[in-house]
Amino acid sequence: MPADYYDLLDVGRDATPDELKRAYRRKAREHHPDANPGNDQAEARFKEISEAYAVLSDENARARYDQFGHEGLRGPGGGAGFDFDLNDIFDSFFGGNPFRGARSRGPAGPPRGDDHETVVDLDFSEAIFGVDRTIEVRTLVACDDCEGSGAAPGTAPVVCSACGGAGQVRQVRQSLLGQMVTTAPCGRCRGMGEEIAEPCSRCRGDGRRAERVSLVVRVPPGVDTGATLRLSGRGSVGSRGGPAGDLYVHLRVAESEVFVRQGDSLVAELKVTMFQAALGASVEFSTLDGPQELVVVPGTQPDDTIRLSGLGVPRANGRGRGDLHFVVRVEIPARLSETEAAKLREVAVERGENVADCDELRTRRRKRRAKH
C-alpha cells in the first residue's frame, strides 16, 4: 500500500501551504540523490516525497486525495490525473539544484577544468610593499594540434547521436501519479552533447596536454602568512575546450629579525644607553623605508615608545599605512673605568643617592672568593 503523503512530509493533515513548503524543503535536501550518492533507498524516498508535495501543493489534487486517498488521483482510464518532472519540481521550488553532483541539470558542454594550488614564500619586506613574483606550475593546457577540440586536425566533433546534443537523457517511469520523468547525463557523450569520430592522436581526444607554465603573480602590499590569491582561469583547461579552472596561491611570509607585525603596525626595539636616555639623543635607525632619525627626549624611560606615523603596513583598503613603533630598551654598562665610576659617583652624591664604594665592593669580592 502506498505511503500516506502527509506522513512522508511529516506534517499534519491541516498543514498550511507554507508548512508544506518548509517540510518539502527539509525532506528534499535530506533525501536528494546528489546528497546520497549510490543510495537507492534515498533516491526512492526522494521520488515519494516529491510526489507527495506535487499532490498536496495542488489545491484540487489535495482535495481529491483527502476525500478518496490515492484512488482519487487516478484519471478515467486508471492513470494519474497529471504528469510531473521531479527535477522541474525541485528546480522551481529551490531556484536551482543546490547539490553540485553529476545529476545537476545544466546546458550541455565540456566540463570546467580543475583548480590548482601552490605556495609562494615571501620576504618580510616583499609582503609589506608587494611584489611581482614569477612562478612555475604544472597544469593542463589546450592541445596545439587540435586547438582543444579533441578531434583530429581537419575534422570536428559532431552532435551526439544518443542525446541529440542535449547532453542529457530523459527516463520515464510509471507511478501512482502516472509518468515520472527524470534526467541524467548522457552516457555516450558524458554530458557534452558532442561525439568525436576521429580523436586527436596527440591528446587522444581529450583536447589538452600537461605542461609547465610560467606565471607572474602580483602580490599586493600588506599581505601576511595565510593570505590566498585567486587567479581566475589559471588552472587546468577543461576537457575538449571546457573553461579553465582557477589557481589559488597561498602566501607564506618569512619573519623579520628586526620588526614584529601587529595588524597594520610594525614594532621594533630601540636600544639606547643610560646616558642617551637621561640626557636625550638623536639616533639613526634603518627602517624598511630607509634610514630614519629618531629623537630620544631627555628622561626617556625603559619601555617608552617612539612612533613614526605612516611607516607601518599598507592597509588593505588602500587608505595609507599603519605606524612604526619603537620600544625603548635602556642598556646599562656592564663595566666602567675608574674615571667613569668616579664621575658617576659624584653625580649620585650630588643627587643624594646612596651608591656603593668601588674599593669596598672589591674588598668584599676578594674576601668572598678566599672563603670558597
What is the average per-residue pLDDT within 193-197? 87
**Per-residue pLDDT tens over the stretch 41-87:** 888 888 888 888 888 888 888 888 888 787 777 654 434 444 555 55
> Same structural domain for residues 289 and 265?
yes
| Nearest-angstrom CA–CA distance, 288 and 6 | 71
What is the domain range of residue 33?
5-94
| Nearest-angstrom CA–CA distance, 189 and 168 | 9
> Same structural domain for residues 123 and 56?
no
| Nearest-angstrom CA–CA distance, 327 and 308 | 12
Q: Count of domains in the chain?
A: 4
Tell me, yes or no, whether 179 lies in a domain.
no
| Nearest-angstrom CA–CA distance, 220 and 9 | 52
| Nearest-angstrom CA–CA distance, 342 and 357 | 10
| Nearest-angstrom CA–CA distance, 258 and 123 | 13
Nine-digit cell at 288?
Answer: 624598511
Please name the residues in contact with 6: beta carbons below 8 A apart, sequence gap of 6 or more.
Answer: 12, 13, 15, 52, 56
Q: Give the strand pairing for 208-219 and 131-142.
A: antiparallel
> Same structural domain for residues 288 and 315?
yes
**Per-residue pLDDT tens over the stretch 111-147:** 889 999 999 999 999 999 999 999 999 999 999 999 9
| Nearest-angstrom CA–CA distance, 300 and 289 | 25
Tell me, yes or no, whether 174 lies in a domain.
no
| Nearest-angstrom CA–CA distance, 234 and 246 | 5
| Nearest-angstrom CA–CA distance, 346 and 310 | 44
Question: In 96-181, which ranges are continuous DSSP H helix?
Answer: 124-129
Tell me, yes or no, whether 366 lies in a domain.
yes
> Same structural domain for residues 240 and 352?
no
> Same structural domain for residues 65 and 15?
yes
| Nearest-angstrom CA–CA distance, 310 and 324 | 7
- pTM for this structure? 0.62
What is the four-CA torsion angle of 144, 145, 146, 151, rounded to 10 degrees?
-150
Residue 372 is predicted with a pLDDT of 63
Residue 180 is predicted with a pLDDT of 65
Domain boundary among 239, 255, 271: 255
Strand (E) or helix (H) holding 304: none
> Same structural domain for residues 113 and 244?
yes
Closest CA to 49 of 67, 70, 23: 23
Q: What is the DSSP track for 184-216?
A: EE-TTTTTSSEE-SSB-TTTTTSSEEEEEEEEE
> Same structural domain for residues 52 and 10?
yes
| More reliable by pLDDT, 184 or 139 | 139
* In contact, 344 and 356? CB cutoff 8 Å: no
pLDDT at 246 over 60: yes
Strand-pairing partners, residue 231, are: 247
* In contact, 183 and 169? CB cutoff 8 Å: yes
CA dihedral over 294, 300, 302, 308, signed as positive or negative: negative
pLDDT at 316 over 90: no
> Same structural domain for residues 230 and 293?
no
Strand-pairing partners, residue 139, are: 211
| Nearest-angstrom CA–CA distance, 22 and 11 | 10
Q: What is the CATH number of the domain that holds 127?
A: 2.60.260.20
* In contact, 161 and 188? CB cutoff 8 Å: yes
> Same structural domain for residues 118 and 251?
yes
Closest CA to 103 of 168, 189, 164: 168
**Residues of the chain above pLDDT 90, percent:** 48
Q: Give the strand pairing for 178-185 and 84-85.
A: parallel
Q: Please classify residue 225 by burial: count the beta carbons closer than 10 Å to its beta carbon, then call 0-12 exposed, 13-18 middle and 19+ buried.
A: middle
pLDDT at 304 over 90: yes
Closest CA to 231 of 215, 209, 251: 215
